[in-house]
Structure 1
Amino acid sequence: MRKSFKLITVFDIPIEINYTWFIVLGLVVFSLAARVFPLTNPEAGATSHWIMAFITATLFFSSLLAHELAHSLIAKKNKLPISGITLFIFGGVAHMEDEPHSPKEEFQVAIAGPIMSFFLALVFFGLAQLSYNLAYPNTILTMINHLVFLNLAVGVFNLIPGFPLDGGRVFRSILWHFYKDLKKATAIASAFGKGFAFFIITLGILYVFTPGLTVSGIWFIFIGIFLLEAAELSYRHVVMNKLLGGTKVESLMTKEVITVPANMPLDKLLDNYFFKYRHASFPVLEGDNILGLVTFHDVKEVPQDKWSTTTAREAMEPVRKDLIIHKNTEAMDALAKLASNGIGRRLVIEHAKLIGILSRKDIMRLFEFKAEIEK
């Protein structure tokens, strides 16, 4: 089952919602309805508090989406491909398929999000003043005031110079411009990001043992851990990009591919291939024609009492776009494609013939060798 589902497409950018987003949506709505609005608007009933909470949460997450759209549109303007935007438990993320090519591009893309958040805060502030002057109900004024505060908070938080926050990317762009070295700039910005992450985690631990702040403390700890891992992964990605840049699939793939005949029963497939070679998947051929890829998971999906009568052809994943990769694909692009199909392997096909197979291990093995030499 997919972890995300597509919601809409805006400016040719697919918008997806990760299932974890519903957790934070519920927490935000509950916090506003059960704790905040009963204090700010005690005259309104419980039903009104829940309606206010749902409307405020919906507009807040729409604001987060606008924040990520700002990043995405500026990225597209700079010819940086965007595969989509995902809303998840820690907010939203725009999926850039390539790193910015210059400090200027990095700065423009990074600063666009906070600028959008501050702009929305200004818009909601104007609406608050209008609502006050027109004597709108206090419930409406309360919701708008909270949206002013929330957008300001998002803008300020994202300007903290800790990578991979927007502020960290702005900081990296300045360091990149100064040092003329993306790897060094990323290392410094990531160190700041890790420092900020440890600060958030420490604060969370203190909150956990403070009466009334336990839930906030747990939330801070999770955010800190997420930022810590993100900073490390972002730096690793830059290092990998530098070490693997220019490397093509053709030089990485396994050319002597172990294949299985399409009519082989699954029980023999297990004994003669999976148990013997200990690979997680094998290409399925009929003569010289590539039909698909059969995985260990595919075999397990078939009831054991039918293994002797079910063939590899019947159990396999048929050849499709996300199972194939071109021999001239760059290593970093290949790594992303391998992660996207859930199998971790792709067939290299030329003129309808199988010429090789690529796995994540093939790429990581070369990276580890090059990283060892760089030490």
Structure 2
Amino acid sequence: MRSSISLGRIGGVSVGLNISVLFIVVILVFGLAFGRFPAVYPGLSSVAYVLAGLASAALFLASLLAHELAHALTAKRHGIEVAQITLWLLGGVAELRGEPRSPGADLKIAVVGPLTSLAAGAVFGGLALLSAAVGPPLVAGMFGYLSGVNVLLAVFNLIPAAPLDGGRVLRAALWARWGDRTRAAIASARAGRVFGYVLIALGFLQVVSGRGFEGLWLALIGLFLVNAASAEEQQSRIGTALYGVRVADAMTERPIVADPDETVAGLIDRVVMRERLSTYPLVDAGGGFAGLVTLNRIREVAPDRRASLRLRDIACPPEQVPRASPEEALTELLTRMSGSADGRAVVLDAGGHLVGLLTPTDISRVIQTADLHRGDLSRRAHGADLTGPYHDDHDRAV
């Protein structure tokens, strides 16, 4: 996510804190320090309530981090690259660069998060009992609150609706039953959309009944679930369209290249104003790939600097550009492209020489061509439904 503060690395995984977390921290501290704690444990100083509220917020964020770390570390054990973990307004997100290769791996990665939250709830519950026996009641109340929140978090996450962990569990179960990950993912995503709309409706009813803040918060969660589930379904359909497609089938062959030492003005005069292109690979004198320049990077250069700046000065460094071989599966490359700076990839032969370029336009063309192909199949079948994800010819795990 953008606008995140790096917290370093834990277990080899980069961890970030989105600035939207500040909102939930303020709400949590305010609600506990000036609402729940004074009402349940009266007679203490404001400082004590605020400190308890701050400690509760910090431990709650630590619980969320433990939940996401459990997902991330389990994914790594199953050979899936983890880009980063980000804590944000509605919880945490572990960004994976790849997908589980079996229903069993999918299930393990999904269920370990809620199990971690349940374990945290048990630990905080034990601390609450211990504090009640030997410590201040406020401390016991703080741990009791954290115990309940973690158990509630685990139960909510186990609801069988994507993108919740329970949706992943549902996907794994359907995948094991049907033998088709894409079909299972679409079913899970549809369940997520339905659940999201239910939350939005419940939120609206709460607003109408006078519980405005709770209703808006519930509706916000529902809206997030609807959008995330819709995105997952779309991604699954794209995976179906791209199944079996090689990088060579989608790439732009022999793209126009530029010298790293050419000026920005030189490239504009030589190519940009003459060709309808948005991406220019840089190739050095030895034929090696030396970076990538996009039209957006060129536009960011002030006109009075274009004659002096070289292309290597504005290019995306070669080590940050995803690379692929012509025979690689396109779906494998897409997972790497999604985390790249410019969303492009270069295709190199066995000798490391540039043979092609892959851009979002190339990928869109492949998807649209696949849609046309499915449409032709549908018409040939005289009305038979071959275009959906549930037909045997298209039920393939990505």
TM-score normalised by structure 1 residue count: 0.89
Mapping of residues 170-185 of structure 1, within 5 Å: 170-185=169-184
Partner of 1:57: 57
Distance in 2, matches of 1:70 and 1:315, equals 39
Q: Does 1:283 align with 2:281?
A: yes
Distance in 2, matches of 1:102 and 1:285, equals 40
The answer as to whether partners of 1:338 and 1:360 remain within 8 angstroms in 2 is: no
The answer as to whether partners of 1:103 and 1:176 remain within 8 angstroms in 2 is: yes
Distance in 2, matches of 1:221 and 1:241, equals 30
Once the two structures are superposed, residues 219-278 of structure 1 have per-residue CA deviations (whole angstroms, 9 ceiling, x without a partner) of 222211211121122222233333323433233211121223445443453354334323
Partner of 1:256: 254
- SS of the residue corresponding to residue 260 of structure 1 reads coil
Partner of 1:68: 68
Distance in 2, matches of 1:166 and 1:32, equals 28
Distance in 2, matches of 1:281 and 1:256, equals 12
Residue 17 of structure 1 aligns with an amino acid whose one-letter code is L
Q: Does 1:85 align with 2:85?
A: yes
Give the superposition deviation at 1:286: 4.7
The answer as to whether partners of 2:324 and 2:345 remain within 8 angstroms in 1 is: no
Mapping of residues 295-334 of structure 1, within 5 Å: 295-317=294-316, 319-327=317-325, 328-334=327-333
Partner of 2:392: none
Give the superposition deviation at 1:161: 1.2
Distance in 2, matches of 1:290 and 1:12, equals 29
Give the superposition deviation at 1:58: 0.9
Partner of 1:18: 18
Residue 226 of structure 1 aligns with an amino acid whose one-letter code is F
Residue 128 of structure 2 aligns with an amino acid whose one-letter code is A
Partner of 1:169: 168
Once the two structures are superposed, residues 318-344 of structure 1 have per-residue CA deviations (whole angstroms, 9 ceiling, x without a partner) of x42122412244322322322322312
Distance in 1, matches of 2:246 and 2:50, equals 55
Residue 186 of structure 1 aligns with an amino acid whose one-letter code is A
Distance in 1, matches of 2:81 and 2:318, equals 23
Distance in 2, matches of 1:80 and 1:285, equals 32
Residue 342 of structure 1 aligns with an amino acid whose one-letter code is A
- SS of the residue corresponding to residue 87 of structure 1 reads strand
Partner of 1:30: 30
Distance in 2, matches of 1:330 and 1:44, equals 64
Distance in 1, matches of 2:175 and 2:270, equals 54
The answer as to whether partners of 2:186 and 2:232 remain within 8 angstroms in 1 is: no
Partner of 1:39: 39
- SS of the residue corresponding to residue 160 of structure 2 reads coil
Distance in 2, matches of 1:22 and 1:168, equals 28
- SS of the residue corresponding to residue 17 of structure 1 reads strand
Distance in 2, matches of 1:289 and 1:175, equals 47
**CA distance 1:347–1:50, shift in 2 (3 Å):** same
Distance in 2, matches of 1:340 and 1:180, equals 29
Give the superposition deviation at 1:359: 0.7
Give the superposition deviation at 1:203: 1.8
Mapping of residues 1-375 of structure 1, within 5 Å: 3-134=3-134, 136-211=135-210, 213-262=211-260, 264-287=262-285, 288-317=287-316, 319-327=317-325, 328-350=327-349, 351-374=351-374, 375=387
Distance in 2, matches of 1:358 and 1:256, equals 11
**CA distance 1:44–1:234, shift in 2 (3 Å):** same
TM-score normalised by structure 2 residue count: 0.84
The answer as to whether partners of 2:292 and 2:318 remain within 8 angstroms in 1 is: no
The answer as to whether partners of 1:322 and 1:337 remain within 8 angstroms in 2 is: no
The answer as to whether partners of 1:3 and 1:18 remain within 8 angstroms in 2 is: yes
Unaligned runs of 5+ in 2: 375-386, 388-398
The answer as to whether partners of 2:186 and 2:236 remain within 8 angstroms in 1 is: no
**CA distance 1:178–1:52, shift in 2 (3 Å):** same
Distance in 2, matches of 1:81 and 1:260, equals 33
Equivalenced residue count is 372
Distance in 1, matches of 2:123 and 2:23, equals 28
The answer as to whether partners of 1:335 and 1:363 remain within 8 angstroms in 2 is: no
Q: Which of 1 and 2 has higher RCO (CA within 8 Å, sep 6+)?
A: 2
- SS of the residue corresponding to residue 116 of structure 1 reads helix
Distance in 2, matches of 1:362 and 1:266, equals 25
Distance in 1, matches of 2:39 and 2:220, equals 27
Distance in 2, matches of 1:167 and 1:11, equals 25
Unaligned runs of 5+ in 1: none
The answer as to whether partners of 1:335 and 1:360 remain within 8 angstroms in 2 is: no
Give the superposition deviation at 1:122: 1.5
Partner of 2:384: none
Give the superposition deviation at 1:117: 1.3
Percent of aligned pairs sharing the same letter: 31
- SS of the residue corresponding to residue 274 of structure 2 reads helix
**Greater CA deviation, 276-285 or 195-204?**
276-285
**CA distance 1:17–1:371, shift in 2 (3 Å):** farther
Residue 107 of structure 2 aligns with an amino acid whose one-letter code is F
**Greater CA deviation, 74-83 or 191-200?**
74-83
**CA distance 1:164–1:289, shift in 2 (3 Å):** closer
